[in-house]
Structure 1
Amino acid sequence: MPRNYRLPMYNRQSPAIRCLNFICAFILTLILIAGIILFVLWLSLRPHRPKFTLTDFSIPSLNRQSGAANLPVKFTVNEHNPNQKIGIHFGYVYGSLYHDDDLIASGRFADPFFQVPKGDTPVEGELTASGPTPTGQAWPRFAAEVGAGSVPLRLVLNSTVLFQVRLWDTREHHMKVDCEFKVGGDGSLLQQYKNEPCTLYL
């Protein structure tokens, strides 16, 4: 007599388990949607760093035989805020000018200012050189470079920045801008270094 094989009956889930599965799926969906929203907000509110370019520089009468001491150091560095909706607060701006590793001018030259989104500000400064002088060790090389019409210099700017995101400000950051360039024998910026981007450390 043949055996009677029966297929196992389908075990339907209880209403409590189905309700629990629905709640878990709903919560996971909410978490996913919230994560996407937060990611989009982070992208739109994430501050982009400002950009700096050296637009002008001069040390008048650099080629005089008595050295560069007490000569005015004049420069303009353009600051650009690339953010669409984020303003930037800058603190006092300090400048230092180097020839090789020798500091030849330094001081504070700009007051705090606010940069609107997508704005540009020409930051103008003037310092007073303390050297090189004919009696200093760096003078022979400096004088030779002036005579050759190509003097390598480095301008360093230091300040603090705060990013204004909507109605609140981020924490304060220290900012360092490093501009490397060359001037001619007359002390003016060589044309190929005009509007040269500076390196920003933030």
Structure 2
Amino acid sequence: MPRNYRLPSYHRQSPAIRCLNFLCAVLLTLVLIAGIILFVLWLSLRPHRPKFTLTDFSIPNVNRQSGAANLPVKLAVNEHNPNQKIGIHFEAVYGSVYYDDELIASGPVMYPFYQPPKGDTLVQGELAASGPTPTDPAWQRFASEVGAGSVGLRLVLNSTVRFQVKLWDTKEHHMKADCGFKISGDGSLHQEDRNTQCTLYF
């Protein structure tokens, strides 16, 4: 006796459901496209940190026997804004010079300024040294290194910055640029340390 086979039944979706599915697919596609566009815009407008390069530094007459107190400390650092469409507002820039961990000079070196996209500004100033002096514990080592023609120092620049995208400003960020270098016995910057990039901290 032949078996009875039941043919599968197919239910066609109603026009309303098909229309709803189509609208959902279009909406998801638009959301995906909008997400890609926003991601590309974020990549193009994401602020890049400024770059600092030590161009010159000197402490004239650093080899005098009475110590470095009150000697002029001259510095020059180039600041570069690598952003193509984002400007940077800098508050006043303060400089500090260290011999090991001993602070030997500090003070303001640059007034507030605005750095346009792809711009460069020379941050330069002159501080007055507070030491080392012959009464300081570090004097003997400092004088010995001066006599040898190689003294390791650090220049630290501190400021507060804001990034500007057209009419919109970001929140303020504290910035610190740390530049390590050596000076010779006459107080001038070693040639190999010219145009070296400083380490930047945000």
Contact 2:109 / 2:123 at 8 angstroms: preserved in 1? no
Deviations 1:80-109 (A, max 9, x none): 000011111100000100000000000112
User: Structure 1: which 5+ residue stretches go unaligned?
Assistant: none
Query: Which residue does the alignment assign to 2:115?
Result: 115
Task: Check if 1:158 corresponds to 2:158.
Answer: yes
Contact 2:105 / 2:127 at 8 angstroms: preserved in 1? yes
1:123 Cα offset (Å)? 0.6
Query: Which residue does the alignment assign to 1:99?
Result: 99
1:166 Cα offset (Å)? 1.6
Identity of aligned residues (%): 79
Task: Check if 1:15 corresponds to 2:42.
Answer: no
User: Structure 2: which 5+ residue stretches go unaligned?
Assistant: none
Q: Secondary structure at the match of 1:74?
A: strand
Q: For 1:145 and 1:111, locate their aligned partners in 2 and report how far apart those are by CA, in whole Å.
A: 34
Q: Secondary structure at the match of 1:176?
A: strand
TM-score using structure 2 length: 0.98
Contact 2:159 / 2:176 at 8 angstroms: preserved in 1? yes
The runs of at least 4 aligned residues of structure 1 exceeding 3 Å deviation read none
The letter of the residue matching 2:147 is: G
> How many residues in Structure 1 have an aligned counterpart in Structure 2?
202
Query: Which residue does the alignment assign to 1:200?
Result: 200
After TM superposition, the structure 1 stretch with the greater mean CA deviation from structure 2, 68-77 or 7-16, is: 7-16
Deviations 1:143-176 (A, max 9, x none): 0000010000000000011111121111110000
1:130 Cα offset (Å)? 0.4
Query: Which residue does the alignment assign to 2:84?
Result: 84
Deviations 1:63-95 (A, max 9, x none): 010100000000100000000111111000001
How do residues 69-80 of structure 1 correspond to structure 2 at under 5 angstroms?
69-80=69-80
Deviations 1:108-154 (A, max 9, x none): 12100011111111111110000000111110000000001000000
Q: Secondary structure at the match of 1:159?
A: strand
1:18 Cα offset (Å)? 1.0
After TM superposition, the structure 1 stretch with the greater mean CA deviation from structure 2, 142-151 or 6-15, is: 6-15
RMSD: 0.9
Q: Secondary structure at the match of 2:126?
A: strand
Q: For 1:8 and 1:133, locate their aligned partners in 2 and report how far apart those are by CA, in whole Å.
A: 100
